Amino acid sequence: MRFSRAASVSLLLLACGFPLKAQKPETHFPTDDKIKLVLTQTARAISQYKPLLDMEEKMLGKEGADAVAKDRDLVKSIEVAIAGFGKEPKHLMVRSALPSSSG
């Protein structure tokens, strides 16, 4: 009877201690290939979006010029980011790896 009680307590302690160790957060960053895939998909989406901006500009004329101009600026910014991260994909992860400074 003592053995089974000691075994039960040991198993209980082991079962309670195991999840505590498993709860430590592990950081997994995407590989360069996965980052490049997302950048390629983004570039493809942007290339499909540009003709839509031209179409919108033709349809709305002067009324939609401001909206189209803002969208074109956004597209240029995204293209710059794609070009930069395409050269060094790991730079995409630098900001998210830094501890946040709240205070």
Tell me: pLDDT of 103 over 50: no
Q: Are 95 and 55 in contact (CB under 8 A)?
A: no
pLDDT band at 85 (very low <50, low <70, confident <90, very high): confident
CA-based radius of gyration for the chain: 26
Residue 24 tokens, joined: 């430590």
Predicted TM-score (pTM) of the model is 0.61
Residue 35, number of CB atoms within 10 A of its CB: 19
User: 102 or 31: whose pLDDT is higher?
Assistant: 31
pLDDT digits (tens, 9 = 90+) for 9-29: 565 555 666 555 555 667 777
pLDDT digits (tens, 9 = 90+) for 57-79: 999 888 888 889 999 999 999 99
The domain limits of the chain are 27-97
